[in-house]
Structure 1
Amino acid sequence: MWALCLGDLVIISFTHWVYRWRNPRCNGKLPPGSMGLPLLGETIQFFSPNTSSDIPPFVKERMKRYGPIFRTNLVGRPVVASTDLDLNYFIFQQEGQLFQSWYPETFTEIFGRQNVGSLHGFMHKYLKNMVLNIFGPESLKKMLPEVQQAASHQDTIELKEATASMIFDLTAKKLISYDKENSSENLRDNFVAFMQGLISFPLEMPGTAYHKCLQGRKRAMKMLKNLLHGRRANLRKHQSDIFDFVLEELQNEGSILTEAIALDLMFVPIALDLMFVLLFASFETTSMAITMAVKFLSDHPLVLNKLMEKHEAILKILENADSSITWKEYKSMTFTFQFINETVRLANIVPVIFRKAL
């Protein structure tokens, strides 16, 4: 009798739990959708590989079934997904008021709990200014010859790998004065291991892609930390990279930042996370966009011909065809900028961005 009652209680409790999972409480009215399996949600479908540059199948199928706004559950968190232009515009307009940048715990674990995407207010503004100091217009002007030299002619290349390697080397040199030729460890190898498990099911077990991803991040962060400690021991001035900004703040006892936070305990981890995210974001997203740009050009010969005409016209202006282009010539490439903007629109590798309702 007691066993039967206990069995009934377990079944009722489980049924109630499944019901609450599929119908989460809400003060307002939730949009249509499915919360998927208990605990798993629809995470497996979300992470399914997609070889198309079109809207991800996960989103496309649910748009067709439920409309532009639907509910789901990803990595254990209830989510409302919106593909509605007006609603998305409203959300961006209310940044910091009704909504703020947010990522699920699994993403936070990957990119670091103090990553720049999870910061708000004073620290976010400060780090943004730090990045602009390094990658602002004045700095980019000086980088033009380096970029042109790095993009040297080769008969045959594996495009995605070659562009990723080129961009990572340029960014690492500019960001942390890293030179792979004079380093005992290959920093990019750790980022490659990180990337291969980034879009995977968040199962933290040895042998899984997610585990390899976290290990790659751990090794990369260790390298960045060692580089910072090495620079701290050798205070000679480098090339105004991000290490210089960090060390300057660590030595500046009278700064507002020093009063606001304990730099050695908080600012250094944040700065290291920032370096990690910038290095990752620069080489992976940009190399993918460049690869897609070449594909689009091969699919649209008229665009390719017009692009070549515009660039050949600029080359004719140069006194020496082998000399580097100037900032003025770079800014004159209006058709190139239009092509780049269209490529970024079509080749965005980020399937979703997250916001938290305040």
Structure 2
Amino acid sequence: MVDSRIMVWTSIAGIAGALWLVALVYWRSWRFRKLERLPPGSMGWPLIGELIPYVTIARSEAPYIFPMEREKKYGTVFKTSLLTGKTIMITDVEGVKFVLHNEGVLFESGYPRSLKDVLGEHAMLFQHGELHKRMHAMLKRFVSSTPLKKHLTREMELLTKQGMSTWSRGTKILLQDEIQRITHDFLMKQLFGLEPGKLSATIFEEFNRLMGGIIGIPLMIPGTPYHRAMKARKKLTKIISGMVAFRRSRPDIEHKDILNALIEEIKQEERDADQIIVDNALINIANAEGIPAVIIAFAVKNLSENPKALEQIREENLAIRKGKDPSEGLTWNEYMSLDFTHAVFNETLRLANGAQGVMRKALKDVEFRGYVIPKGWTVLPYFLNIHFDEKMFPQPTKFHPWRWLEVLSTTSHSCNFATWLQQRSIPSSYVLPFGGGARLCPGQELAKVQTAVFLHHFVTQFRWEAEPEKVINFPKISTKNHLPVVLHDL
């Protein structure tokens, strides 16, 4: 009896062992076949991968060299190892479109943990599905309607005039810092309804500390950028939560800003409502705080280095001012007619794009061009190679705004930014400074309005001498010396 039981259990153990062995062999074979079908490339050194050469090149004035060198060796789809570990980089238009337009199906956002900790897990940058759609739609409604855009244009014009009225003539100023003050005041007004003052300045200071820790090792050790960033987040959370509490206690006071739109949008949420508001307020600051100032500063830098372009943009804007009272502002139709000014904006973004790419994570094994992108790997659709494509942009490193003036059809001055691009000979798929797909930045037209309004007043009021200036591309894009200039009345 005992012997028969032993024989039964021995048989069961033998069968189980055989099944386990078959499964192991199959798994190893499947895994080998999957790894064999990975895109070509190098994973670099253990633990750090290719992070050092990537960061070194990213800090230079030509960050596109890193992917271009690998593209020549491996093609437009290759593997590497960067900030988020195992990464597939894609550098051509069709590949980038494939990733961006499969959001939520094959891919989801896949940013480093430090970024998520600092900005908050409820921020729409990290959200998927219904909450992301609602936040995105709410922002688009706020900045896209024509009456609101006209109102925002007037607000930007008022703040621009106020800022410029304080500038000294004949002495050196750091123009990027001056522009930053104007765009920050504009953002605070639209986001929180704040006028320039102590609270607005406090938010500016704390937010700069917060942004200093978004990329790096997330260790709460005093003195580290991450620790300072998390302390700044705590202070900003207290400020924003205080605004929300006040508005809820005084529903009789009307507010027409993004914070109010956020409160209204999530008032039916039963859980984490306050945290959703704070996180999405912070991501809105992150998206709009530094970028408009940098775009404008780079536009001035490019114009300073290209007298022909400066002369043309000045003539275009002076023509609008003829016959007008100096106190009169820029009308919406006049803004829409500034074709060369818009071309300067586009060319500036092409050359100095703060969003070099976006990070996505594969939700499952993805078949792509005969390769396998394994589940859980980071996918990095890289924009700069597209912006420096010699076939689409001859002499790609040259500032040449006239390339955007080749029209495919008659342009309507009432069209929006996307329509304007479609009417040019450069396809919109080659213009990716604001991302694409479901996560296309809703503030793109607002950035264009800010730039056009500032340049209109700047080139029609001032002539200037600018010192030679370099570009910093990592960890955030900026001019190296904050654009020193000496201003004179025109």
CA–CA distance in 1 between the matches of 2:289 and 2:200?
21
Equivalent residue number for residue 306 of structure 1: 312
Q: 3-state DSSP class of the match of 2:62? A: coil
CA shift in 2, pair 1:81/1:158, >3 Å: same
Aligned-residue RMSD, C-alpha: 2.7
CA–CA distance in 1 between the matches of 2:252 and 2:58?
48
The 8 Å contact of residues 101 and 356 in structure 1, kept in 2 or not, is answered as yes
CA shift in 2, pair 1:58/1:24, >3 Å: farther
CA apart distance, 1:204? 4.2
Choose from 170, 180, 188 the match for 2:186. Answer: 170
Equivalent residue number for residue 335 of structure 1: 340
The 8 Å contact of residues 75 and 202 in structure 1, kept in 2 or not, is answered as no
The 8 Å contact of residues 118 and 213 in structure 2, kept in 1 or not, is answered as no
CA–CA distance in 1 between the matches of 2:281 and 2:243?
12
Equivalent residue number for residue 191 of structure 1: 207
Choose from 274, 296, 307 the match for 1:290. Answer: 296
Matched residues, number:
326
CA shift in 2, pair 1:203/1:49, >3 Å: farther
CA–CA distance in 2 between the matches of 1:337 and 1:266?
41
CA–CA distance in 1 between the matches of 2:120 and 2:291?
19
CA shift in 2, pair 1:323/1:37, >3 Å: same
Structure 2 segments unaligned to the other structure (5+ residues):
1-27, 364-490
Structure 1 segments unaligned to the other structure (5+ residues):
1-19, 252-257
My pick for the range that moved more, 194-203 or 280-289, is: 194-203
My pick for the range that moved more, 44-53 or 116-125, is: 44-53
CA apart distance, 1:310? 0.3
The 8 Å contact of residues 114 and 226 in structure 2, kept in 1 or not, is answered as no
Equivalent residue number for residue 257 of structure 2: 241
The 8 Å contact of residues 36 and 73 in structure 1, kept in 2 or not, is answered as yes
Q: 3-state DSSP class of the match of 1:116? A: coil
My pick for the range that moved more, 91-100 or 56-65, is: 56-65
Q: 3-state DSSP class of the match of 2:355? A: coil
CA shift in 2, pair 1:215/1:74, >3 Å: farther
Deviations, residues 5-33 of structure 1 (Å, cap 9, x unaligned): xxxxxxxxxxxxxxx9xx99946611222
Q: Which has the higher helix share?
A: 1
Choose from 55, 63, 66 the match for 2:63. Answer: 55
Equivalent residue number for residue 149 of structure 1: 158
Matches within 5 A, 1:1-358: 26=34, 29-48=37-56, 50-136=58-144, 137-152=146-161, 153=164, 154=167, 155=169, 156-181=172-197, 183=199, 186-200=202-216, 202-249=218-265, 258=268, 261-262=269-270, 265-318=271-324, 320-358=325-363
CA–CA distance in 1 between the matches of 2:358 and 2:265?
31
CA–CA distance in 1 between the matches of 2:219 and 2:46?
16
CA–CA distance in 1 between the matches of 2:41 and 2:35?
17
TM-score using structure 1 length: 0.81
The 8 Å contact of residues 36 and 72 in structure 1, kept in 2 or not, is answered as yes
CA–CA distance in 2 between the matches of 1:158 and 1:31?
46
CA shift in 2, pair 1:28/1:227, >3 Å: farther
The 8 Å contact of residues 77 and 91 in structure 2, kept in 1 or not, is answered as yes
CA apart distance, 1:98? 2.6
The 8 Å contact of residues 40 and 74 in structure 1, kept in 2 or not, is answered as yes
CA–CA distance in 2 between the matches of 1:304 and 1:96?
44
CA–CA distance in 1 between the matches of 2:75 and 2:309?
35
Q: 3-state DSSP class of the match of 1:103? A: coil
Q: Which has the higher strand share?
A: 2
Identity %: 31
CA shift in 2, pair 1:204/1:42, >3 Å: farther
Deviations, residues 231-266 of structure 1 (Å, cap 9, x unaligned): 222223233213323443566xxxxxx3xx42xx23
TM-score using structure 2 length: 0.61
Q: 3-state DSSP class of the match of 2:322? A: helix
CA–CA distance in 1 between the matches of 2:340 and 2:283?
30
- The code of the aligned residue for 2:307 comes to P
My pick for the range that moved more, 124-133 or 276-285, is: 124-133
- The code of the aligned residue for 2:135 comes to L
Structure of larger gyration radius: 2
CA–CA distance in 1 between the matches of 2:173 and 2:304?
16
The 8 Å contact of residues 72 and 80 in structure 1, kept in 2 or not, is answered as yes
CA shift in 2, pair 1:28/1:334, >3 Å: farther
Deviations, residues 276-321 of structure 1 (Å, cap 9, x unaligned): 1111221211111111111111121111111000000011153x12
CA shift in 2, pair 1:133/1:184, >3 Å: closer
CA–CA distance in 1 between the matches of 2:71 and 2:277?
39
- The code of the aligned residue for 2:301 comes to K
